[in-house]
Amino acid sequence: METKDMMMTSMLTMDKSENEGERDKGREEVEVGEEGTPQENGRLMLADGLAEKGPKALSWGSGPQVSNGFTTSTPQSPRDGPGTAACAGGTASGPGVGTGSSMPLGGLRTLVVQQTSLERPRETWSKKMDFLLSVIGYAVDLGNVWRFPYICYQNGGGAFLLPYLLMAVFGGVPLFYMELALGQFHRSGCISIWKHICPIFKGIGFAICIIALYIAFYYNTIMAWALYYLLSSFQSTLPWTTCTNSWNTANCNRYMSTDHNVSWSNSSISPAEEFYTRQVLQVHLSPGLHELGSISWQLALCLLFIFTIVYFSIWKGVKTSGKVVWVTATFPYLVLLILLVRGATLPGAWRGVVFYLKPNWEKLLTPSVWIDAAAQIFFSLGPGFGVLLAFASYNPFHNNCYKDALVTSSVNCLTSFLSGFVIFTVLGYMAEMRQQDVDAVAKDAGPSLLFIIYAEAIANMPAATFFAIIFFLMIIMLGLDSTFAGLEGVITAMLDEFPHILAKRREGFVFGLVCVCYLGALSTLTYGGAFVVKLFEEYATGPSVITVVLLEVIAVSWFYGTNRFCNDIQVMLGFYPGWFWRICWVAICPCFLLFIIISFLAFPPEVKLFHYHYPQWTTVLGYCIGVSSFICVPAYMVYHLLTAKGTFMQRLLKSITPEPSCDDHRNFIVTNAV
């Protein structure tokens, strides 16, 4: 007994001297339970009968396996984030395990002393519902309200649902699931996660951050327009219902449901359209992108208010933003249901529904329908923007992200379908009122569908002020969710990449990021700002983010390896992904993304807004903006190969091998005690 006590004391003393540098960083308090069971917050654990249970009796969920009487290093436990490679005695594809033979312990216990430094614990969601609402709020955005209904009726109505569902099942949902699993397993943002997967592709993370900034430059301006409408709605007579205002022209035609003596002609302009183009945007004061004009101070104040809300919602992390989304993610559904009931009771609503869902099966033979279906499901679910990686990284390690992916992606697709009824019941009503066909009323896509057609329809309803307030409040809520998510993706990526600099300065960093986004958005607040918004929407995000996601899928499936990725999921969730998911990740998803990229290059979109056709030089400018983010990927590859040591082949092999995380590993001193 005395000999064993002396041995244990000696080994602990040796460990103390060997780890003196680590002790200076901080040392967690050692605690032992009364019954000798391992403590969650302790670092002194007693394990009975370790040798008898054998290697298979231990898993990541139950702690590391060690050899009796040996000092070993193991990866992090799932509670604190997994490591992908062991520095000693482990492999890159799974948890490191101690080697060596174990002696029967008899009546002895194994004393495991675990020493760690005091690290800042990673933030987690307060509740599971905070995470789900945040993901749903991110996926369900303004595009669900206007883009899906427009794309649907343009591409065959009900027949479009077939390619849409096929693209969702074989392309969108597998990518959605993959990003949630990656973020949850590696507990990292979109930059630092690549050292655990394939270091040479780290430029993907920087490209994602630049794309997120571009989106913040123009996306929030649309919310500023909605806020302008919201403030203008607090009047007994909505300002876009009359032609007697200072901004109206001679072509303004006030065509209300009560005006039976007024006829609508091709030269007629509704007061809602003139309010949008001449009062809110003031686009008539700018001849085009070559002369944007002055900044609208009204929109500048509206955008400042929007960014103020954004800052105070995300400055403290997911603990605060997770609470805000309880309002911003649920309120739009309440408004959609109210507007659906109201729209269904309007005269002519059935015309819009028939036009929306009437199947045109011949459209399925045209490639543009499949291109639109693929692009719509991709941008609707939103993989590749770093948001899903960031949100999932704050989950518990064993959270069922597979179920989360199926639930949230299904909610997103159903919301798009529901929004189609909300929009087209009103478009049918407008066609009935103007005595026109539905396609003539719904000729405008984009935000114009919301700010002109829908705004005019609301003005014709009883209790127009109430419906206008809740509708534009819904638009703002939909946009805020996506802005929270997009900026959180950047914040998480930068904090994980530079933790020693930014971890304790989150509030200041978020403030600086929001200021950069506001300054970058100033060009969209000018008289020609709507032209800038359209340019960013078409070129700055679409092609570049799809290319980035293609490289991401290739890196995970082909370099990191589908088997290794599936093993990670099995460790995390307890089951191995089926053959369907493996085939999608290896082959179908890359083909899906390559199909979108090739079709975009083969059939570049004709960009125009209102009566302004974008000149040729703007196409070159748009491609330059898109390439400016994607260039980070090859640039970092060259940098990584040049800065690595060894021969070219050694550097190349090292660049595609996941890096071990020795700093995060823990040292165990194992000895016997009675």
Per the annotation, binding residues are 137, 139-140, 144, 380, 412, 478, 481-482
- Cα 491 to Cα 485: distance, rounded to the nearest angstrom: 10
C-alpha torsion 261→264→265→268, nearest 10 = 110
203-232 and 542-554 helices, crossing angle to 10°: 140
The answer to whether residues 645 and 559 touch, using CB atoms and an 8 Å cutoff, is no
- Cα 517 to Cα 308: distance, rounded to the nearest angstrom: 12
The alpha carbons of the chain give a radius of gyration, in whole angstroms, of 29
- Cα 267 to Cα 631: distance, rounded to the nearest angstrom: 46
| Strands 44-48 and 109-115, sheet pairing | antiparallel
Phi, psi of 311, rounded to the nearest 5 degrees: -60, -50
Amino acid of residue 384: G
Phi, psi of 109, rounded to the nearest 5 degrees: -110, 155
The two structure tokens encoding residue 250: 């001679």
CB-neighbour burial class of residue 89 (10 A; exposed 0-12, middle 13-18, buried 19+) = middle
Q: Alpha carbon 42 to chain centroid distance?
A: 36
Phi, psi of 290, rounded to the nearest 5 degrees: -75, -15
Closest CA to 206 of 594, 515, 568, 551: 551
CB-neighbour burial class of residue 427 (10 A; exposed 0-12, middle 13-18, buried 19+) = buried
Q: What separation, in Å, do the N-terminal and C-terminal C-alpha atoms of the chain show?
A: 8
The answer to whether residues 507 and 319 touch, using CB atoms and an 8 Å cutoff, is no
The answer to whether residues 198 and 564 touch, using CB atoms and an 8 Å cutoff, is no
- Cα 569 to Cα 173: distance, rounded to the nearest angstrom: 16
The answer to whether residues 61 and 78 touch, using CB atoms and an 8 Å cutoff, is yes
The two structure tokens encoding residue 447: 């935000």
Instruction: List the binding residues for Na(+).
Output: 137, 139-140, 144, 380, 412, 478, 481-482
The H-or-E segment that residue 48 falls in is strand 44-48
- Cα 564 to Cα 130: distance, rounded to the nearest angstrom: 30
Residues 6 or more apart whose Cβ sits within 8 Å of residue 586: 557, 558, 562
Amino acid of residue 314: I
The SS3 of residue 329 is: coil
- Cα 337 to Cα 394: distance, rounded to the nearest angstrom: 32
DSSP calls for 454-505: IHHHHHTSTTHHHHHHHHHHHHHHHHHHHHHHHHHHHHHHHHHHSHHHHTT-
Closest CA to 544 of 629, 632, 636: 629
- Cα 84 to Cα 399: distance, rounded to the nearest angstrom: 18
